[in-house]
Amino acid sequence: MIEETLDYLYGLKREGIKLDLEATREFANHLGNPEKNFKNIHVAGTNGKGSISSYTYNILRQKYDTGLYTSPHLIDFNERFIFNKEMISNDYITSFINENRKYIEEMGIKKRNPTFFEATTVMAFKYFSDKKADYGVIEVGLGGRLDSTNILSPEVSIIGQIGYEHYQRLGCSLTSIAYEKGGIIKENKPVVLLDNKPEVVREIKKLSDIRNSKLILIDDYCKISDLKYDISNLSFTLKTEYNEYNINAVNSGLFQIKNIEASVSAIELLNENKIDKKDIERGINESRWPARFEVVNTDPLIIMDSSHNPPAANALVKSFNQIVNKKPLLVIGMLSDKDFFSYLSIMSKLSDDIVLTRPDEPERSLDPYEIRKYVKDLFKTITVINDPIEAYNYAIKNSSCILVTGSMYLVGMLKKYINSPVMPFAIN
């Protein structure tokens, strides 16, 4: 039954990505506007928004019934919808579609039916409403201003790092992309900005001024000291304008420091008396974000990271050099809509040995033999193995240090193969 339901949902992709809010608003209105029944934090950005969402969710759930909506998933569709510490059930997904299928199809006759992402977004809002969530942490799908999640009225908005991914839809300058991301800023509601690039700060400040929204720049708001890290752990003292925290986190990359700062800053802006210093420290400690500098094995050392664009590649290379300081064998597969040459040019600074493979995404995966033609001068040795599992096993036999990256679809398939957990919190 769930397979048939998911087939129907994925079939809604035929409408493609529609950057407008009309269908989402109409569908949500039909269901009584469930998004208005819980407080929420809205998270946008090119990179880091999943990690920020996880940290924020894990802090809030210490004292509140909290939902987390993210995309895409690594292994199971249900991962996109977490309430407290459980994924949405197959029964709920099936019931939601069965109850609303007729209306979805009527929308298609009248104007257009909701896309896959629009339908799943409304389902997330209905699910959290039905569960009587106090809070929902909602990750933007693409952009912000016209993303279907933007029918929300958040208590706080968070904007992470901004880069050029999806420039075809969001604009070719950082200013235009920041304008789209800044579309989640709401009237009289505060916004936290992680990015410090001058053109980004300038645009977000302009938007926050127009909307009378308090702007927190984390480089000004947060100070870090006593930083310590190894392959497993990350600890530091975080001082904000209001408090000082002893942060102890799983080391999922040094780039997570800024993401933690953004999350803690947003929580402080909520001004919720129930959430205290210990809740914040415990929430960060319990947070996980699978496939972000994730150590899935120690002998041989295997790290999986879902980075797939140049800014994320730069952050990954920097963290890998600082934490591991060893040349890995790269196992990389990429999608056709990514800037693969720039990405691999950056990754070649980390290692000159690579295994190219094909992610588990039939429609968009890049042929590794084609990739090899363009990057043959970047690497000393290039091995092409189409099947990801064969590529993974080859790497294990030939290296004591392996980095799997380039696509969430590749990392997700291999996490499933090795039965690696995907929940955004520590599993005891």
Q: Helices (H), strands (E): how many in the chain?
A: 16, 17
pLDDT for position 166: 54
Looking at the fold, whether 278 and 176 belong to one and the same domain comes out as: yes
How many angstroms separate the Cα of 92 from the Cα of each of 88, 95, 96, 208? 7, 5, 6, 38
Looking at the fold, whether 320 and 391 belong to one and the same domain comes out as: yes
Residue 275 lies in a domain: yes
Looking at the fold, whether 117 and 215 belong to one and the same domain comes out as: yes
State phi, psi for 298 to the nearest 5 degrees.
Answer: -105, -25
Residue 13 lies in a domain: yes
Looking at the fold, whether 210 and 304 belong to one and the same domain comes out as: no
Look at residues 259, 286, 313 and tell me which one is the last residue of a structural domain: 286
Q: Terminus-to-terminus CA distance in the chain, angstroms?
A: 31
Residue 126 lies in a domain: yes
CA distance 317 to 167: 23
Looking at the fold, whether 141 and 81 belong to one and the same domain comes out as: yes
Which CATH number fits the domain that encloses residue 146? 3.40.1190.10
Residue 422 lies in a domain: no
Instruction: Read off the tokens for 19.
Output: 């950057």
Looking at the fold, whether 321 and 386 belong to one and the same domain comes out as: yes
More confident residue, 345 or 163: 345
pLDDT for position 337: 87
Looking at the fold, whether 115 and 256 belong to one and the same domain comes out as: yes
Looking at the fold, whether 217 and 337 belong to one and the same domain comes out as: no
How far does Cα 113 stand from its chain's mean position? 26
Q: Output the pTM of the full model.
A: 0.95
Number of separate domains in the chain: 2
Looking at the fold, whether 8 and 69 belong to one and the same domain comes out as: yes
Whether residue 190 is preceded by a cis peptide bond, meaning omega within 30 degrees of 0, is no
Confidence of residue 100 (pLDDT cuts 50, 70, 90): very high
Looking at the fold, whether 336 and 377 belong to one and the same domain comes out as: yes
**Residue 42: which domain range?**
2-286
Q: What is the pLDDT of residues 40-81, one digit of tens each?
A: 999 999 989 999 999 999 999 999 999 999 999 999 999 999
User: Could you tell me which residues come within 8 angstroms of residue 128 by beta carbon, excluding any fewer than 6 positions away?
Assistant: 34, 37, 38, 67, 69, 83, 136
Look at residues 240, 269, 286 and tell me which one is the last residue of a structural domain: 286
Specify burial of residue 118 (Cβ count, 10 A radius: 0-12, 13-18, 19+): buried
Looking at the fold, whether 123 and 272 belong to one and the same domain comes out as: yes
Residue 11 lies in a domain: yes
Look at residues 258, 286, 314 and tell me which one is the last residue of a structural domain: 286
Q: What is the pLDDT of residues 335-373, one digit of tens each?
A: 998 899 999 999 999 999 999 999 988 889 999 999 999
Looking at the fold, whether 258 and 345 belong to one and the same domain comes out as: no
Three-state SS sequence of 277-289: HHHHHHHHHHECC
